[in-house]
Structure 1
Amino acid sequence: MLLLNSESNPVNNNTNDNDKVVEITNLDFYFGSGALKKQILFDINLTLKKGEVVIMKGPSGSGKTTLLTLMGALRSSSHGSLKVFGKELVNGKDKLLIETRCNIGYIFQAHNLLKSLTARQNVQMSIELHNHISSKEAKLRSIEMLNAVGLGDHINYYPENLSGGQKQRVAIARALVSHPKMVLADEPTAALDSKSGRDVVDIMENLAKNQGCTILIVTHDDRILDVAERIIELEDGHLISNLSEL
């Protein structure tokens, strides 16, 4: 496994353009304006390839979640270049950002499950964003995905009746059910014990690999580093290059 972060890696330089899911060049990001304007990300250069698993590490406040949300088209920057699925998102229009988000699965620490919906309904809600899929097909896919993450006997459970690990499995099912091109996970194991954390990461890795999508995991959890093909580190808004073997 390599610890690396940017185009300085010869593997990245040889990547076919069709294999580039994310391509970031000289990206800066600022919060606020005028006297309150503060730079959060500095000259980020990074490529994520189709089908690879990448972990992003770094201290709290280093800009990891900000970079994740930019790659996920949840916010937009106006400095540098950020291409996702070959489309430039810097200064991107709302329509483009929405279209991009439809091809990305999101998994967050807090699960973000709707309490009023069952496990199946929470997962199905993600598919219903795609107009070409019928409600019947969406329901069948949701049940199939919950079976795949080991919750086939919990499809009608509400979040309050699920453990932390089970809720995270529902979140994984919701992220993967529409077969996204990329999965972005922000601290997916932070609230879980060692076994539950390992279980959800293994499920996420296996299911996503079977679907052929790219996975980026932001984490402080050193117990799951072995799932990554690459580890990138962010500190004070800067990506740190390190080509040493782990």
Structure 2
Amino acid sequence: MDFPTIVSINYLNHYFGYGVLRKPVLSNINLKIKSGEIVILSGPSGSGKTTLLTLIGGLRSVGEGSLQVFSQELRGASEAQLVKIRRHIGYIFQSHNLLRSLTAQQNVQMSVKLHENVSRVEARIKSEAALKSVGLGNRSDYYPENLSGGQKQRVAIARALVCHPKLVLADEPTAALDSKSGRDVVKLMQKLVKEQGCAVLMVTHDNRILDIADRIVYMEDGQLRKMSNGS
């Protein structure tokens, strides 16, 4: 079965700064990611991995080359077009980014509220179901300060996947976790992603989780150096 292409990047370049201070960050990037695929982006710190992730997520402007997400060209896209695309992307960050003043359920529900025409009752039902899917159904009323690091990251995963996004972007999701918690988190992500049929691009330095990938892409000095199949 030929799965649809979710991300298509051709000859993408990106720079920081202007004039004599302009510095290349990404050079000649070519990459395709398909539905149902987990791709890990590996490489040393400062190689451009997070910058690429933010460009794909519509969080930075594309200057040179072509970057298409859901067949929409992001170069020159309007803010309204970018907002529409972001609604179909789930973001998971290293520091989980939960709001301390909200319960686990309320943190997840915030993601649902980004979508139009969803009632408050439906948003609550969806968020509670998402927390159950990550094994935190009995922690929905807990505040982040009363959750472990692994539990916080599970809430972040529930928040990212609650609206069944077509693409998940994860930036070092296991960096702050111990070996067991990190393994549990990525296994859970792998299970939910396969069930929902979305694509995943994960930035990581964690060699313990490379085996969950369908492909591993290695980046160095702003360039994709090599690719390999996951084990």
1:37: Cα distance to partner?
1.1
1:18-37 counterparts in 2 under 5 A?
19-37=4-22
How far apart, in 1, do the equivalents of 2:149 and 2:132 lie?
Answer: 17
Backbone CA RMSD of aligned residues = 1.4
Q: Which residue of 2 aligns with 1:138?
A: 123
SS at 2:44 equivalent: coil
Q: Which residue of 2 aligns with 1:11?
A: none
Q: Which residue of 2 aligns with 1:174?
A: 159
How far apart, in 1, do the equivalents of 2:166 and 2:48 lie?
Answer: 23
Q: Match of 2:142, as an amino acid?
A: Y
1:20: Cα distance to partner?
0.6
Structure 1, 87-96 or 117-126: larger mean CA deviation: 87-96
Q: Which residue of 2 aligns with 1:107?
A: 92
**Equivalent in 34, 42, 56 of residue 41 of structure 2:** 56
Q: Match of 2:58, as an amino acid?
A: A
1:238 aligns with 2:196: no
Query: CA, structure 1 residues 177+243, in 2 after alignment: closer, same or farther (shift >3 Å)?
Result: closer
Q: Which residue of 2 aligns with 1:6?
A: none
1:69 aligns with 2:54: yes
How far apart, in 2, do the equivalents of 1:123 and 1:111 lie?
Answer: 12
1:93: Cα distance to partner?
1.4
Q: Which residue of 2 aligns with 1:118?
A: 103
1:241: Cα distance to partner?
2.4
**Equivalent in 174, 190, 195 of residue 205 of structure 1:** 190
Q: Which residue of 2 aligns with 1:164?
A: 149
Percent identity over the alignment is: 61
Query: CA, structure 1 residues 84+173, in 2 after alignment: closer, same or farther (shift >3 Å)?
Result: same
How far apart, in 2, do the equivalents of 1:73 and 1:93 lie?
Answer: 10
Q: Which residue of 1 aligns with 2:180?
A: 195
1:133: Cα distance to partner?
1.2
For normalisation by structure 1, the TM-score amounts to 0.91
Q: Match of 1:231, as an amino acid?
A: I
How far apart, in 1, do the equivalents of 2:196 and 2:228 lie?
Answer: 29
Q: Which residue of 2 aligns with 1:4?
A: none
Q: Which has the higher contact order (CA 8 A, sep 6+)?
A: 1
Q: Which residue of 2 aligns with 1:79?
A: 64
User: Any idea what the Cα deviations from partners look like across 1:3-47, whole Å, max 9, x if unmatched?
Assistant: xxxxxxxxxxxx96x711000000000111112211100000000
Q: Is the CA contact (8 Å cut-off) linking 2:108 and 2:162 kept in structure 1?
A: yes
Gaps of 5+ in 1: 1-14
How far apart, in 2, do the equivalents of 1:219 and 1:141 lie?
Answer: 29
1:64: Cα distance to partner?
0.2
For normalisation by structure 2, the TM-score amounts to 0.97
How far apart, in 2, do the equivalents of 1:128 and 1:98 lie?
Answer: 14
SS at 2:219 equivalent: strand
How far apart, in 1, do the equivalents of 2:153 and 2:228 lie?
Answer: 33
Query: CA, structure 1 residues 57+243, in 2 after alignment: closer, same or farther (shift >3 Å)?
Result: closer
How far apart, in 2, do the equivalents of 1:58 and 1:242 lie?
Answer: 11
How far apart, in 1, do the equivalents of 2:227 and 2:99 lie?
Answer: 41
SS at 1:23 equivalent: strand
Count matched residues: 231
Gaps of 5+ in 2: none
